[in-house]
Structure 1
């Protein structure tokens, strides 16, 4: 192995250490209470070392978000396998909700806190949230199949995707923030109610 290859491997290893320590601290302590200095202390390096890789905490979180969305995308590919577009939409919706319910702190970092959305501006002044693109495009493709087969009341796939996403996100975020406690139900009951809600919603938008 040459010097350049060894340096690249060391660089990737350091970045991995930084990201692993950051993720643990963001989930255990919270994003707002975690600083670059805290992360540096965790891996026993100076803050200057981390700044060689990330200019600020938002940039670091953005990379961590990308990893989290890769996890969610893998869940979609594993769980949403039906040949029927409507059944596949159901599988996507339930996989999304299950992911959020099982990993509420990670979901919070992905969808609820405002950081690191200010990092999205591109050099040309436009903005795009590339982290969520693979998952959203997966949803769009299935919706388009349903529209082509005249199975959905929606005609515009973007409007359909926004509606479905808003529904499942609402269910997860209400639970993440403990707002579903107003239903005065045991946890199993809440999960069951969420499941039925998804089923009923999909019936409403089906032709």
Structure 2
């Protein structure tokens, strides 16, 4: 391996080390307590070294957000074997909720916390979010082609479905579901989405 290749590898390894430390601190203490200083302390480098690899704290969290979307895409990959698009759509909802419940910190970075979005230029496309949304739009479009959601635009319907799922996921991971009993909450989380989609299909 040449000197240039070795330096590139070492640079990438240090970037990964920074991300791992940032993720660990964020998962342990939350966004406010994750700073460039304590990331540097965790990996035993100076803060200046971190700035050589990431512009600021928001850039680090944007990179972690991308990790979250990669993980979600991997989980959605198993749905390709579901031939019926309407059944696939229902399965996507169950998987989305499961992902949020099992990965609340990633979910916050992907869909709740503002910081990762600050690195985008004004009016710039949010590539990660757009790609994930397009997956949903394509499934809804397949449903429309098979006679579901008659008279509705696939993109608009997909946005309504996503918004509803996001609301359910966020209320749950932020502990706002205590207004109903545990038994009812479990029922809603398991069956609520499928019931909602069935209702939309009847409109």
**TM-score band, normalised by the shorter chain?**
over 0.9
SS of 1:206 mapped into structure 2? helix
Aligned match of 1:83? 83
2:198 to 192, 200, 203: 203
Does 2:200 align with 1:166? no
Q: Which residue of 1 aligns with 2:139?
A: 142
1:5-20 → structure 2 map (5 Å cutoff): 5-20=5-20
1:192 to 173, 187, 195: 187
Shift of 1:79: 3.9
Number of residue equivalences: 202
Mapped to 2, the partners of 1:28 and 1:80 lie a distance apart of 35
List alignment gaps of at least 5 residues for structure 2: none
- State the alpha-carbon separation in 1 of the partners of residues 131 and 73 from structure 2: 7
Q: TM-score, normalised by structure 1?
A: 0.92
Q: Which residue matches 2:32? A: 32
Q: Return 5+ residue gaps in structure 1 as ranges.
A: none
Separation of aligned partners in 1, 2:120 and 2:15: 21
> CA separation in 2, counterparts of 1:204 and 1:154?
14
Say if 2:149 and 2:200, in contact at 8 Å, map to a contact too: yes
Q: Is the 8 A contact 2:109 2:116 kept in 1?
A: no
Match of 1:100 in 2: 100
